[in-house]
Amino acid sequence: MLKQSLSFKLSQKLSPQQIQLMKLIQLPTQEFEQRVKSELEENPALDSGNEKSDDEYDEFSNQDDQDYDNDSEAIETDINVDDYLSDDDIPEYRTQANNYSADDEDRNIPYAAGKSFTQTLNEQLDTLRLTDEEEAIAEFLVGSIDESGYIRRAIEDITDDLAFTSNIFTAVEKVEKVLKIVQTLDPAGVGARNLQECLLIQLSRKRKNDSTELAIKLIRDSFDAFSKKHYDKIVTKYDLTEDQLRNAIDEISHLNPKPGGSISGGNLRAVEQVIPDFVIRIKDGELELTLNGRNAPELHVSKDYSNMLKGYKEAKEKSKSQKDAVMFIKQKLDGAKWFIEAIKQRQETLYVTMSSIMNYQREFFLTGDERNLRPMILKDIADEIGMDVSTVSRVANSKYVDTPYGTKLIKEFFSESMTNTDGEEVSTREIKKILETVIGEEKKRKPLTDQRLAEILKEKGYPIARRTVAKYREQLDIPVARLRKEL
């Protein structure tokens, strides 16, 4: 049985202003500049420059609020404000925040001018003498090459696709023949179906000598043993000296495993330029923090729109169209003030958060030694500045700081802690740095195993398990001992 009933409940929701502030905080400097530019284009009541001083703005802001309060009763008598706000004339920036969740990210795609990888290969095809059928197959194969330069699909599948999508009925043997032609294109190795074939294509184009001949034999006949660095087995199997094997390895090490990446602009990615959001300098033995000036744009309420609102107040007779216009103007002005206030809060939040991080990691910023990094988690900073952990996370995940030791991502200063043999809490970053140093100083002919690395760290006062060493090694992008072996 269906039944209707009324119930009261209390719930908390983020206001559009709060959502906008959170989204502004997480933007790095470059994206923040674009956001400000976009707001200036969408809201004509917002101006940049020195048209109005801060004192003048504050004075108008207070006066305008009083004027509007005096007139609001008269306006609302004739105009239903709720209906007006739900009209199609609502500016997009006033409702935009409601259309996104707090986790949404801006996904604007940067465009770069240039020639694509596929275009470069097709231009090379135009210089070859091919039949119409061969040319169509070659273009299809080129279109199947990924950004690394490989064809990852089986020739049988490509043959079927040629029949279904391009109405080209041909045999697998014919496609493989055309593939050999495609593999003659530059860069060397393009069109390969796997790494082994890619290396063989490149070696076949090199000038023939004993080293290249041996390298071809190793890749063609003993690729698995070579890739796993089973050098002892290879030396025994081919009756080689270490010098012969070393020369062959040197030939192979100069090959390109991803030939597609050698063409600039191959995937049309824009070159990213990191713009630091903060600058930390050492002055007279003390740390000095400054916020990038691009994060503090000069924005003011448009004088023209202010004068329009004042003109309405001074008018003796107020028509319906004038009241509609003043509601529109008031809405624009509210949006401008709202955005200016959000930017001020953003600046404050960024500075307070980074200042706390700087003071917490004072020893590191004074010395630049990563071993001086203290264990620090988001909650440590959030508790210190009295803000939510999510706010600190937004600042840390996307902001950079320019230090005397280079530009660094802020989230790199955060790390978990562990207790050493002296009972002191140390940062896991410190342990990773020591692990990296130990591996860098090992004998490459006989690299240290994870178990041996764990024993060395224990001797240095860091009792961690072998599996933890393996985890840290993988995080540092360091291969296992067998793959670190060199002759």
pLDDT in tens, 107-120: 444 444 556 778 88
Q: What is the pLDDT of residues 363-396, one digit of tens each?
A: 889 988 877 888 888 888 999 999 888 888 888 8
Average pLDDT over residues 58-63: 43
> Which tokens is 323 given?
């009241």
* 281 three-class SS: strand
Contact 110, 271 (CB under 8 A): no
- Confidence class for position 355, pLDDT limits 50, 70, 90: very high
Average pLDDT over residues 89-115: 42
Contact 361, 374 (CB under 8 A): yes
**How many of the other CB atoms lie within 10 Å of CB of 482?**
11
The pLDDT assigned to 312 comes to 65
Which segments of the chain belong to CATH 1.10.10.60? 417-487
> By percentage, how much of the chain surpasses pLDDT 70?
76
Average pLDDT over residues 40-49: 75
The Cα–Cα gap between 331 and 45 comes to 9
- Residues in a beta bridge with 415: 376
The Cα–Cα gap between 31 and 420 comes to 42
The pLDDT assigned to 101 comes to 39
Q: What DSSP character marks residue 143?
A: H
The Cα–Cα gap between 277 and 252 comes to 43
What are the backbone dihedrals phi and psi of residue 355, each rounded to the nearest 5 degrees, phi first?
A: -60, -40
The Cα–Cα gap between 192 and 298 comes to 55
Give the torsion sign (CA, 378, 472, 438, 404): negative
Which of the residue ranges 61-70, 82-91, 262-271, 457-466 would you say has the lowest mean pLDDT? Answer: 82-91
For residue 341, give the nearest of 292, 282, 375, 301 by alpha carbon: 301
Q: Chain-centre distance of CA 340, in angstroms?
A: 27
Planar angle of CA 8, 9, 15, nearest 5 degrees:
125
Residue showing tokens 């269906």: 2
The DSSP bridge pattern shows strands 425-427 and 278-283 to be: unpaired
The pLDDT assigned to 356 comes to 92
> Number of helices and strands (H, E) in the chain?
22, 8
Alpha-carbon separation of residue 450 from 42, 371, 419, 445, 447 (angstroms) = 58, 21, 20, 16, 10
Average pLDDT over residues 97-112: 41
Burial class (CB in 10 A: 0-12, 13-18, 19+), 424: exposed
More confident residue, 69 or 453: 453
pLDDT beyond 60 at 74: no
The pLDDT assigned to 422 comes to 65
- Residues in a beta bridge with 419: 425
The DSSP bridge pattern shows strands 278-283 and 400-403 to be: parallel
Contact 477, 437 (CB under 8 A): no
The pLDDT assigned to 238 comes to 85
pLDDT beyond 70 at 477: yes
Return all residues near 128 (Cβ < 8 A) that are at least 6 apart: 138, 181
> By percentage, how much of the chain surpasses pLDDT 90?
4
**Gyration radius (Cα) of the chain, Å:** 33
For residue 253, give the nearest of 273, 269, 229, 274 by alpha carbon: 229
Q: What is the pLDDT of residues 263-318, one digit of tens each?
A: 644 444 444 567 888 899 998 889 999 888 777 777 777 777 667 766 666 666 66
CA atoms within 13 A on the CB side of 194: 7
Contact 440, 448 (CB under 8 A): no
The DSSP bridge pattern shows strands 406-409 and 417-419 to be: unpaired
> Which tokens is 462 given?
């860091």
- Confidence class for position 58, pLDDT limits 50, 70, 90: very low
For residue 74, give the nearest of 284, 319, 240 by alpha carbon: 319
Element (H, E) at 408: strand 406-409
The Cα–Cα gap between 349 and 25 comes to 8
Which of the residue ranges 239-248, 292-301, 430-439, 478-487 would you say has the lowest mean pLDDT? Answer: 292-301
Domain 417-487 -> CATH class: mainly alpha
pTM for the structure as a whole: 0.51
